[in-house]
């Protein structure tokens, strides 16, 4: 077989498009296939943060302490719909096992390396793709209801400090200088200046697709059903029976990637942490930084297209209908926490975070063939880690040693 193209990327989200651009920059011919077109998945509606300081894995003893209380509230920060509880039990068991002190230390070190690479790669990548004007450096303000909540967060901050992350603990007056208008119940906060954001994640993802096309890459619609490794390439079989061929394939189909990996005999425990939000008109609040209401599991973000209120984790799989009462519940809380927030005119959204149980992505070659490279499972951090992932994938595609050690991201680690 003669491969038609050097590389086909499956999935035109922020991860797939970043990988495709990085491959094109190495001189490879590239097409991206997506069943719906660019920015159809989580990359469109996320909170827009480059959360480089977020190095602590979600799978940690801290979350185990908070989870029982959160699970009591059906519209709270963490829910497991009864219809999906049994199905997700094996993933939760792996998540629980990843919460040991030794595993958390390991994941934190791996996450820090990927964050550092992603941060170093980001601005040059934005400059090369003509999207640098979309970058905002407004930091993040994590707020606490009382000194006890701040105190409970201190071990996490100490761990971040050990990895060189800058932050400042603030009292109410200090917070008001950065962000006026918080309800008085928030008495303490922590500001991290090294947390960036993008003006709008959907527009950014679409701009990456435009850049790729303008530089000779293809972006096409095709629902991929299966992969078939051949001696000198890979066949990509479409749901409509169509077949495409490439010398190599990058699998970046977000929360749906495991279904395609399964067709080459690989069982990867990918699940989705469904997240919800409401995007209000731009004038809804005078927001100066991204605010994280950590105790309530949501953030408020200023985008060029509006004020986005959202977060939450619903472990409900890929098929259950969205429950937009969750978006409403967060908006109601946001109104109480930011009394001047105007709640009218919002647009609701639900998206599928692609999540592996140890909170690390899967980046590396498939078990069945080195010609398929996995690049998915970034959970809460796909935008943040997109430029670093693209650099690693381009290294793998061109036979170079990746810029960082990727053993911890091995798709076969489970
Ligand atoms: C509420 C919420 C807030 C978030 N906030 C942030 C944040 O602030 N910062 C951050 O870094 N991350 C955030 N995330 C996570 C981030 O959005 C994801 O990690 C990231 O978008 C994943 O990108 P992706 O390209 O892997 O997947 P996606 O964007 O989901 O793209 C996958 C693509 O694959 C396509 N596809 C799927 N199956 C097939 C198939 N069979 N054939 C062809 N195409 C297929 C889909 O159509 C889709 O376009 C948030 C997520 C949510 C839900």
- How many Cβ atoms sit within 10 Å of the Cβ of residue 137? 10
Residue to mutate (ligand 1; options 209, 312, 347, 383; most atoms within 8 A of CB):
383
The tens-digit pLDDT sequence of the chain (414 residues) is 445 899 999 999 999 999 999 999 999 999 999 999 999 999 999 999 999 999 998 888 888 888 888 887 888 889 999 889 999 999 999 999 999 999 999 999 999 999 999 999 999 999 999 999 999 999 999 999 999 999 999 999 998 999 899 999 999 999 999 999 999 999 999 999 999 999 999 999 999 999 999 999 999 999 999 999 998 999 999 999 999 999 999 999 999 999 999 999 999 999 999 999 999 999 999 999 999 999 999 999 999 999 999 999 999 999 999 999 999 999 999 999 999 999 999 999 999 999 999 999 999 999 999 999 999 999 999 999 999 999 999 999 999 999 999 999 999 999
CB 349 within 8 A of CB 277: yes
Buried b (16+ CB within 10 A) or exposed e, 66-104: ebeebeeeebbbbbbeeebeeebeebeeebeebbeeebb
Could you tell me if 364 and 406 are in contact, meaning their C-beta atoms sit under 8 angstroms apart? Answer: yes
Please report the pLDDT score of residue 111 as a whole number: 96
What are the pocket residues of ligand 1 if the criterion is a CB atom closer than 6 Å to any ligand atom? 10-16, 33-36, 40-43, 46-49, 51, 223-224, 252-256, 260, 275, 277, 310-311, 351, 353-354, 376, 378-384
Closest by Cα among 15, 41, 30 to 351: 41
- Bridge partner residues of 109 (DSSP): none
Q: pTM for the whole thing?
A: 0.97
Tally of domains in the chain: 1
CA nearest ligand 1 atom 3, residue: 46
Please tell me the distance from the alpha carbon of residue 29 to that of residue 17, in angstroms, as a whole number. Answer: 14
CA–CA gap between residue 236 and residue 226 (Å, rounded): 6
The whole domain housing 123 covers 1-59+100-136+196-270+357-414
- Residue 344 covered by a domain: no
The domain that holds 10 is classified in CATH as 3.50.50.60
Within-domain flag for 235: yes
Give me the chain's average pLDDT, please: 96
Structure tokens at 394: 């381009």
Residue 341 lies in a domain: no
Residue 15 belongs to a domain: yes
Using the mean position of ligand 1's atoms as its centre, give its distance from the Cα of residue 254 in Å: 5
| Helix 14-25 and helix 386-397, axial crossing angle in degrees, nearest 10 | 40
pLDDT in tens, 193-219: 999 999 999 999 999 999 999 999 999
The candidate with the shortest Cα–Cα distance to 227, out of 12, 11, 10, is 10
User: 380, 384, 392, 409: which to mutate for ligand 1, most atoms within 8 A of CB?
Assistant: 380
| C-alpha to C-alpha distance for 318 and 207, rounded to whole angstroms | 27
Rounded Cα gap, residues 410 and 414, in angstroms: 9
C-alpha 94/C-alpha 329 separation (Å) is 29
Measured in degrees and rounded to the nearest 5, phi and psi for residue 373 equal -115, 125
pLDDT at residue number 3: 57
- Whether the CA torsion 346, 351, 357, 362 is positive or negative: it is negative
Does 44 fall in a domain? yes
Decide if 184 is inside a domain.
no
Asked whether residue 395 is assigned to any structural domain, the reply reads yes
Residue 37 CA, chain-centre distance (Å), reads: 19
DSSP summary character for residue 28: -
- State in Å: Cα 354 to ligand 1 middle: 7
Burial class (CB in 10 A: 0-12, 13-18, 19+), 244: buried
Residue 371 lies in a domain: yes
The answer to whether 209 and 219 are in contact (CB under 8 A) is yes
């Amino acid at each position: 077989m003669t491969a038609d193209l050097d590389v086909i990327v499956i999935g035109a989200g922020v991860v797939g498009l970043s990988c495709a651009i990085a491959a094109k920059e190495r001189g490879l011919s590239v097409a991206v296939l997506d069943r719906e077109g660019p920015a159809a998945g989580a990359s469109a509606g996320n909170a827009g943060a480059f959360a480089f300081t977020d190095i602590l894995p979600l799978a940690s003893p801290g979350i185990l302490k908070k989870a029982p209380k959160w699970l009591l509230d059906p519209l709270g920060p963490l829910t497991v719909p009864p219809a999906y509880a049994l199905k997700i039990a094996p993933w939760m068991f792996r998540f629980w096992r990843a919460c040991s002190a030794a595993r958390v230390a390991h994941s934190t070190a791996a996450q820090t390396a990927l964050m550092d690479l992603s941060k170093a790669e980001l601005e040059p990548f934005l400059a090369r793709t003509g999207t640098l004007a979309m970058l905002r450096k407004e930091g993040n303000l994590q707020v606490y209801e009382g000194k006890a909540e701040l105190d409970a967060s201190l071990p996490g901050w100490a761990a971040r400090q050990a990895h060189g992350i800058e932050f400042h603990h603030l009292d109410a007056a200090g917070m008001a200088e950065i962000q006026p208008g918080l309800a008085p119940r928030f008495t303490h906060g922590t500001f991290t200046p090294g947390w960036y954001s993008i003006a709008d994640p959907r527009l950014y993802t679409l701009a990456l697709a435009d850049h790729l096309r303008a530089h000779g890459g293809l972006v096409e619609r095709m629902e991929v059903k299966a992969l078939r490794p051949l001696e000198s390439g890979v066949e990509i079989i479409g749901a409509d029976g169509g077949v495409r061929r490439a010398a190599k394939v990058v699998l970046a189909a977000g929360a749906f990637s495991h279904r395609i990996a399964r067709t080459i005999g690989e069982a990867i425990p990918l699940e989705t942490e469904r997240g919800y939000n409401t995007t209000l008109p731009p004038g809804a609040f005078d927001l100066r930084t991204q605010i994280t209401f950590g105790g309530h599991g949501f953030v408020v973000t200023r985008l060029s297209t509006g004020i986005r209120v959202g977060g939450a984790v619903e472990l409900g799989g890929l098929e259950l209908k969205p429950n937009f009462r969750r978006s409403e519940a967060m908006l109601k809380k946001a109104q109480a926490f930011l009394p001047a927030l105007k709640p009218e005119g919002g647009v609701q959204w639900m998206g599928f975070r692609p999540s592996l149980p140890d909170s690390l992505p899967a980046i590396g070659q498939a078990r069945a063939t080195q010609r398929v490279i996995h690049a998915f499972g970034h959970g809460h951090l796909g935008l943040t880690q997109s430029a670093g992932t693209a650099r690693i994938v381009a290294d793998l595609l061109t036979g170079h040693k990746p810029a960082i050690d990727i053993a911890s991201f091995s798709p076969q680690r489970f």
